[in-house]
Chain A
Amino acid sequence: MAEKSPRTLFDKVWDAHVVEKLPDGTCVLYIDRHLVHEVTSPQAFEGLRLAGRKLRRPDATIAVADHNIPTMGRANGIVEEDSRIQVETLERNVVEFGVPYFPILSPEQGIVHIIGPEQGISLPGTTIVCGDSHTSTHGALGALAFGIGTSEVEHVMATQTLLQRPAKNMLVRVDGKLRPGVTAKDVVLAIIGKIGTAGGTGYVIEYAGEAIRGLDMAGRMTVCNMSIEAGARAGMIAPDETTFAYVTGRPYAPKGAALEAALAWWKSLPADEGAVYDKTVVLDAAEISPMVTWGTNPEAVVAIDATVPNPAAEADEAKRAQLERMVAYMGLVPGQKMTDLKIDVVFIGSCTNGRIEDMRAAASIAKGRKVAPGVRALVVPGSGIVRQLAEAEGIDKVLIEAGFEWREPGCSMCLGMNPDKLTPGQRCASTSNRNFEGRQGPGGRTHLVSPAMAAAAAVTGHLVDPRELG
Chain B
Amino acid sequence: MDAFTKLTAIAAPLPMANVDTDKIIPARFLKTIKRTGLGVHLFDTLRYDADGKERADFVLNQEPYRKAEVLIAHENFGCGSSREHAPWALLDFGIRCVIAPDFADIFFNNTFKNGILPVRLPREVCDQLMEDAKLGENARITIDLEEQVVVRPNGEKIHFEIDPFRKHLMLNGLDDIGQTLQHAPKIDAYESRQKTEKSWMPAISV
Chain A residue with Cβ nearest B108: A201
Evaluate contact between A201 and B105: CB separation under 8 angstroms. Answer: yes
Cβ < 8 Å to A, chain B residues 1-54:
15-18, 20, 22-23, 26-28, 30-35, 45, 50
Q: How far is the CB of A145 from chain B (nearest CB, A)?
A: 12
A410 to B186, CA, bound (A): 39
A283-297 vs B: 1/0 string, CB under 8 Å? 000000000000001
Evaluate contact between A133 and B18: CB separation under 8 angstroms. Answer: no
Evaluate contact between A154 and B177: CB separation under 8 angstroms. Answer: yes
Given contacts A82-B32, A149-B113, contact A20 B186 (CB under 8 A): yes
Evaluate contact between B30 and A39: CB separation under 8 angstroms. Answer: yes
Q: How far is the CB of B139 from chain A (nearest CB, A)?
A: 21
Evaluate contact between A434 and B80: CB separation under 8 angstroms. Answer: yes
Evaluate contact between A258 and B202: CB separation under 8 angstroms. Answer: yes
Q: How far is the CB of A369 from chain B (nearest CB, A)?
A: 32
Q: Is A197 an interface residue (CB 8 A)?
A: yes
Chain A residues within an 8 Å CB radius of B202? 120, 252-254, 258
Q: Is A51 an interface residue (CB 8 A)?
A: yes
Q: Is A239 an interface residue (CB 8 A)?
A: no
A254 to B199, CA, bound (A): 10
Task: Please choose the segment from A273-281, A387-395, A436-444, A450-458 that sits at the chain B interface, where 4 or more of its residues have CB less than 8 A away.
Answer: A436-444
A254 to B202, CA, bound (A): 6
Given contacts A19-B183, A163-B179, contact A85 B198 (CB under 8 A): no
Evaluate contact between B199 and A261: CB separation under 8 angstroms. Answer: yes
Given contacts A53-B177, A82-B32, contact A198 B45 (CB under 8 A): no
Task: Please choose the segment from B60-68, B71-79, B90-98, B143-151 that sits at the chain A interface, where 4 or more of its residues have CB less than 8 A away.
Answer: B71-79
Evaluate contact between B204 and A60: CB separation under 8 angstroms. Answer: yes
How many chain A residues touch the partner (CB < 8 A)?
86
A149 to B205, CA, bound (A): 25
Q: Is A468 an interface residue (CB 8 A)?
A: no
Chain B residue with Cβ nearest A264: B200
Evaluate contact between A151 and B75: CB separation under 8 angstroms. Answer: no
A61 to B74, CA, bound (A): 38
Q: Is B159 an interface residue (CB 8 A)?
A: no
Chain A residues within an 8 Å CB radius of B105? 201-202, 231, 233
Q: How far is the CB of B25 from chain A (nearest CB, A)?
A: 11
Contact of A24 among B80, B87, B164, B204 (CB under 8 A): B164
Evaluate contact between B15 and A318: CB separation under 8 angstroms. Answer: yes
Q: Is A364 an interface residue (CB 8 A)?
A: no
B178-206 vs A: 1/0 string, CB under 8 Å? 01110110110011001000111111111
A154 to B198, CA, bound (A): 25
Task: Please choose the segment from A25-33, A182-190, A338-346, A373-381 that sits at the chain B interface, where 4 or more of its residues have CB less than 8 A away.
Answer: A25-33
A198 to B200, CA, bound (A): 38
Chain B residues within an 8 Å CB radius of A40? 82-84
Evaluate contact between A439 and B176: CB separation under 8 angstroms. Answer: no
Evaluate contact between A258 and B200: CB separation under 8 angstroms. Answer: yes
Contact of A417 among B20, B31, B33, B186 (CB under 8 A): B31
Q: Is B114 an interface residue (CB 8 A)?
A: yes
Evaluate contact between A318 and B74: CB separation under 8 angstroms. Answer: yes
Interface residues on B, range: 35 or more
Contact of A436 among B20, B87, B186 (CB under 8 A): B20
Evaluate contact between A155 and B33: CB separation under 8 angstroms. Answer: no
Chain A residues within an 8 Å CB radius of B179? 163
Chain A residues within an 8 Å CB radius of B23? 436-438
Evaluate contact between A318 and B17: CB separation under 8 angstroms. Answer: yes
Chain B residues within an 8 Å CB radius of A10? none
Q: Is B102 an interface residue (CB 8 A)?
A: yes
A163 to B180, CA, bound (A): 8
Contact of B31 among A86, A149, A231 (CB under 8 A): A86
Evaluate contact between A261 and B34: CB separation under 8 angstroms. Answer: no
Chain A residue with Cβ nearest B180: A159
Q: Is A209 an interface residue (CB 8 A)?
A: no
A424 to B49, CA, bound (A): 12
Evaluate contact between A131 and B82: CB separation under 8 angstroms. Answer: yes
Q: How far is the CB of A191 from chain B (nearest CB, A)?
A: 16
Chain A residues within an 8 Å CB radius of B17? 318-319, 322
Q: Is B109 an interface residue (CB 8 A)?
A: yes
Chain A residue with Cβ nearest B74: A318
Contact of B76 among A83, A155, A201 (CB under 8 A): A201
Evaluate contact between A149 and B177: CB separation under 8 angstroms. Answer: no
A61 to B204, CA, bound (A): 7
Cβ < 8 Å to B, chain A residues 42-64:
42-43, 46, 51, 53, 58-62
Q: Is A332 an interface residue (CB 8 A)?
A: no
Contact of A265 among B74, B113, B191, B198 (CB under 8 A): B198
Evaluate contact between B33 and A85: CB separation under 8 angstroms. Answer: yes
A259 to B194, CA, bound (A): 16
Q: Is A148 an interface residue (CB 8 A)?
A: yes
Q: How far is the CB of A365 from chain B (nearest CB, A)?
A: 29
Evaluate contact between B22 and A439: CB separation under 8 angstroms. Answer: yes
Q: How far is the CB of B45 from chain A (nearest CB, A)?
A: 5
Chain A residues within an 8 Å CB radius of B35? 43, 150
Cβ < 8 Å to B, chain A residues 395-435:
415-417, 424, 434
Contact of B204 among A62, A80, A297 (CB under 8 A): A62
Contact of B50 among A83, A86, A259, A442 (CB under 8 A): A442
A417 to B81, CA, bound (A): 14
Evaluate contact between A22 and B204: CB separation under 8 angstroms. Answer: no
> 12 pairs across A/B with beta carbons < 8 Å?
A30-B187, A80-B31, A146-B106, A151-B110, A151-B114, A155-B177, A201-B104, A252-B202, A254-B201, A297-B18, A424-B50, A439-B27
The 9 closest A-B pairs by CB, nearest first: A151-B113, A149-B110, A149-B84, A42-B33, A258-B200, A147-B82, A82-B31, A59-B203, A198-B76
A59-B204, A416-B28 known; 18 new pairs, CB 8 Å cut-off, are A24-B163, A24-B165, A43-B33, A61-B204, A82-B31, A82-B32, A83-B31, A86-B31, A100-B204, A149-B110, A151-B113, A154-B177, A155-B180, A165-B163, A198-B104, A202-B105, A258-B200, A434-B81
